[in-house]
């Protein structure tokens, strides 16, 4: 289904950790339901106000009964600062759901997230659990973890790694990843982490999916601003062909 | 859904348009991307993503950079090639309803000619000749800066097609009026202006230009007043119809271009701000015309040239 425009209403917008916010919004009647791994273009400022572009943010959680969609985002610049200032009751313009979303595969799976890259993995973990897939989570943070309890509610095991050692394992998520234990590995995080985890998983012969981040102008596949080079194939649009890709598209067959 | 009012009807090179609003090349894909968002009945035409004969992978590195009132892009004419477009994209684009404008770039005059010859046999309503892309090293802007180079490529392409040929001009031309006249003399049926302004950004932490190509193209509201001035000047000088574009973000902006003399307008970066921008702008134009008792765009086209 192609992306739509809609006006959502902010229900909650709360700080989860330093610069990390969780925004829950109610979708209007008729708005399409998102799948895990899809995203929306968010805008809560006028067309003649800066920043010019809306901001692509992935679906963190979707409640089909209450028709609410949640976004977990990091305040990085002007756009996300404006989002962070939203109060309950405010209007939020959404374009989406956009992108392809995750495929649910296998009998066992692990979601591997780094920092704000954990955001799209929660709805994925929920959907996997609902589909009967035994799911673990390995979540990496610089210092202060967030939303770990939400993962615990739906995953068999949740492990946390922090760069500083403040919580859980001191080090990287890839220290904790044993890809051979799973049928499918889902990864989202900083490029360096994503590449390392994906190469480990691909090297172990495990089906691997990565969710990519990119600057976007349209979010619809029209502007070709988020084009990503692939290993061998044609260039891909992160917004339209992705943001979820098989790991081999970018990282060959592994290490 | 209210029908598109007759008062918005326009004509471009003899082709009737339901409205004067056209999705600008490079911002509208081949149209289908917006089909779930926009009521396509409000668009007069769509100018598809810029094509080259063989297709291009586009530029490496950063492709987008926001400015306070604009967007610098360095896409580099990423496209699937003319034949792929005709075979795989055109049928769906045609089915959307708006007239089809095929935007054609090239690296040499030969590739422009071959591309135009293919499009001439295809089901497109217009060929928009892009001699103004700032983001490809060969061709593109090379032909868009010097009026004599433009004259040469337009004259050669003219011989390859009987389709309405609209030449898209760069604001980086040495002299926009000389450029417009040269293209008209070389056989252009119409002109569209302006493409993006050559611009740049520097990453102060890396101490390097943001873009691999160093320079890239600025669009968005930042360029609108300059684009409007150029369209006004060109409309005063040429007899062929002019499509005005450059930072149009509202119905008011679009009406200003019509009052400067434009036959139609293209909406580009505004589609990224509001994916329904083309429809909203067309609706806003109709509302303004109705409130002011303007029955036809002809009543206001070029009116800003009457200075007394």
Tell me: the pLDDT tens digits for A161-204? 999 999 999 999 999 999 999 999 999 999 999 999 999 999 99
Q: List the domain boundaries for chain B.
A: 6-305
Query: Which of these is catalytic: B133, B160, B183, B235?
Result: B133
Q: Do A2 and B67 touch (CB under 8 A)?
A: no
Share of chain B above pLDDT 90, in %: 90
* Structure token pair of residue B173: 């031309």
pLDDT in tens, B74-108: 999 999 999 999 999 999 999 999 999 999 998 88
Residue environment code for B55-70, b if the CB has 16+ CB neighbours within 10 A, otherwise e: bbebbeebbbbbbebb
Contact state of B36 with A216 under an 8 Å Cβ cutoff: no
Give the CATH number of domain B6-305; options: 3.20.20.70, 3.40.1080.10, 3.40.50.300, 3.40.50.280.
3.20.20.70
Enumerate domains of chain A plus CATH numbers: 4-98 (2.40.30.10)
Compute the nearest-CA separation of B185 from chain A (Å). 33
Residue with tokens 């890839």: A174
Q: How far is A65 from chain B (nearest CA, A)?
A: 24
pTM for this entry: 0.93
Q: Above 70 in pLDDT, residue A254? A: no
Which residue of B lies nearest to A230 if distances are taken between CA atoms? B57
User: What ipTM, to 2 d.p.?
Assistant: 0.90
Q: Flag whether residue A164 sits within 8 Å of chain B, measured between CB atoms.
A: no
- Whether residue B270 contacts residue B248, with contact meaning beta carbons closer than 8 Å, is answered with yes
Q: How far apart are CA A220 and CA B244, in angstroms?
A: 25
| Binding-face residues of B in 215-274 toward A, CB within 8 A | 220-221, 249-250, 269-274
Spatial CA neighbour of A10 closest among A52, A73, A76: A73
Residues with Cβ within 8 Å of residue B110, at least 6 apart in sequence: none
Of A2, A52, A215, which has the smallest distance from its Cβ to B273's Cβ?
Answer: A52
Cβ contacts from A onto B, under 8 A: 106
Asked whether residue A116 carries a pLDDT value surpassing 60, the answer given is yes
B235 is catalytic: no
Interface test with A, best of B55, B61, B62, B66 (most A CBs within 10 A): B66
Q: What is the pLDDT of residues B212-229, one digit of tens each?
A: 999 999 999 999 999 999
**Closest chain A residue to B62, measured at CA:** A225
Is A230 in the B-facing interface, judged by CB distances under 8 Å? no
Q: Which residue from A220, A225, A229 is facing B34, i.e. has the nearest CB? A: A220
Residues 6+ apart with CB under 8 A from A9: A25, A26, A28, A89, A90, A91, A92
Other residues' Cβ atoms within 10 Å of the Cβ of residue A136: 21
CB contact under 8 A, B73 and A2: no
């Amino acid at each position: 289904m192609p992306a739509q425009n809609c006006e959502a209403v902010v229900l909650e917008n709360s700080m989860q950790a330093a610069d990390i916010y969780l925004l829950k919004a109610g979708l209007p009647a008729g708005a399409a339901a998102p799948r895990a791994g899809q995203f929306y273009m968010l805008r809560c400022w006028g067309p003649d106000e800066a920043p010019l572009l809306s901001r692509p943010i992935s679906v963190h959680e979707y409640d089909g009964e209450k028709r609410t969609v949640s976004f977990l985002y990091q305040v990085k610049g002007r756009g996300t600062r404006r989002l962070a200032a939203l109060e309950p009751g405010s209007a939020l313009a959404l374009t989406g759901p956009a992108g392809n979303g995750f495929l649910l595969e296998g009998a066992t799976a692990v979601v591997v997230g780094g920092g704000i890259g954990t955001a799209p993995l929660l709805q994925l973990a929920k959907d996997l659990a609902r589909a009967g897939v035994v799911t673990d989570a390995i979540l990496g943070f610089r210092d202060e973890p967030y939303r770990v309890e939400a993962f615990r509610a739906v995953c068999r095991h949740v492990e946390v790694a922090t760069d500083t050692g403040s919580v859980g394992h001191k080090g990287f998520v890839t220290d904790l990843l044993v890809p051979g234990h799973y049928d499918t590995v889902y990864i989202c995080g900083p490029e360096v982490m994503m590449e390392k985890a994906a190469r480990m998983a691909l090297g172990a012969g495990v089906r691997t999916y990565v969710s990519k981040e990119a600057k976007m102008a349209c979010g619809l596949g029209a502007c070709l601003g988020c084009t990503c080079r692939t290993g061998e194939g044609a260039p891909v649009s992160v917004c339209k062909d992705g943001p979820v890709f098989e790991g081999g598209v970018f990282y060959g067959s592994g290490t | 859904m209210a029908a598109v009012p007759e008062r918005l009807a326009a004509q471009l090179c003899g082709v009737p348009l339901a409205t004067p609003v056209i999705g600008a090349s490079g911002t509208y894909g081949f149209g289908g991307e917006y089909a779930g968002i926009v009521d396509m009945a409000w668009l007069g035409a769509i100018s598809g993503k810029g094509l080259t004969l063989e297709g291009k992978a586009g530029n490496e590195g950063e492709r987008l950079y926001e400015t306070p009132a604009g967007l610098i892009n360095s896409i580099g004419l990423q496209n699937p090639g003319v034949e792929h477009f005709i075979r795989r994209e055109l049928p769906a684009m045609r089915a959307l309803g708006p007239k089809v404008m095929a935007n054609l770039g090239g690296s040499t005059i030969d590739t422009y000619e071959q591309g135009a010859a293919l499009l001439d046999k295809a089901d497109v309503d217009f060929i928009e000749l892009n001699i103004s892309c700032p983001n490809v090293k060969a061709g593109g802007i090379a032909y868009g800066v010097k009026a004599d180079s433009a004259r040469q490529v337009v004259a050669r392409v003219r011989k390859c097609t009987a389709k309405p040929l609209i030449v898209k001009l760069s604001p980086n031309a040495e002299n926009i009026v000389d450029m417009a006249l040269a293209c008209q003399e070389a056989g252009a049926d119409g002109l569209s202006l302006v493409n993006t302004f050559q611009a740049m950004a520097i990453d102060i932490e890396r101490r390097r230009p943001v873009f691999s190509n160093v320079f890239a193209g600025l669009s968005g509201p930042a360029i609108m007043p300059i684009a409007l001035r150029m369209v006004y000047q060109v409309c005063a000088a040429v007899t062929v119809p002019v499509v005005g574009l450059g930072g149009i973000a509202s119905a008011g902006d679009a009406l200003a271009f019509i009052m400067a003399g434009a036959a139609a307008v293209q909406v580009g970066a505004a589609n990224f701000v509001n994916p329904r921008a083309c429809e909203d702008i067309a609706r806003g134009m109709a509302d303004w015309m109705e409130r002011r008792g303007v029955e036809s765009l002809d009543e206001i086209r070029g009116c800003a040239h009457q200075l007394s």
